[in-house]
Amino acid sequence: MEGGINAWDGLRAAGPPEAGMAHFPEGASPEVLLALAWLLEEGSRRFYAELAGSAGDKDAQKLFGDLAQAEKHHEESLAGLYAKLSGKEARAGFHRDLIPGGTSEDIMEGGMSVAEGLSWAKGKGVREVLELAISLEANAYDLYIKMDRNMEKNAKAREVFSLLMLEEKQHLSRLASLLDRKM
């Protein structure tokens, strides 16, 4: 690419190559991966739902509301796939029985704590909050691409990560397009 990274003014992810993957241990069963992904989606859903309620800008309220809804749909897709793979019902809290050693539930896509993200966003302008959301989604997109690549031999897990990857890409374009309008 001409000019290298300096010429790139688009989305960027941050962190080392393995960033975020610690949440998805290598060799984990597709069911465990689904439970972990569900947890991250739930964190993002709570984050966007809170932002939808607190954003001062109407377009941002609408977009954050839509994203909260989209994360809810992701959860449903993940729970549906879990039921299909395991043959068990994905009842509320199903992820808790699957995650080895338990894990903090205060986490969202991009690896950030929900509380930390919300506290940062308090009192910030719409552009700054959109920029944070973009960076979280860019990291989530980065992570799901890498997970999809790492799961080369696990067709079912790839199915999950491919779906999430493509949806994150759509979220990113919606956020970026709103940010463009607010510039």
Residues that bind another protein (CB under 8 A): 1-5, 7-17, 138-139, 141-142, 145-146, 148-149, 162, 165-166
37's enclosing H/E stretch is helix 30-54
Closer of 8 and 182 to another protein (Cβ): 8
Q: Which residue has the tokens 């990291």?
A: 139
Contact 34, 163 (CB under 8 A): no
- By beta-carbon proximity to another protein, the closer residue of 3 and 93 is 3
Instruction: Please state, in angstroms and rounded to a whole number, the distance separating the CA atoms of residues 99 and 94.
Output: 9
What is the Cα–Cα distance from 95 to 86, expressed in whole angstroms?
Answer: 13
* DSSP secondary structure letter of residue 1: -
Residue closer to another protein, measured from CB, 15 or 100: 15
Closer residue to another protein in complex, CB, 10/93: 10
Q: What minimum distance in Å lies between the beta carbon of 123 and another protein?
A: 26
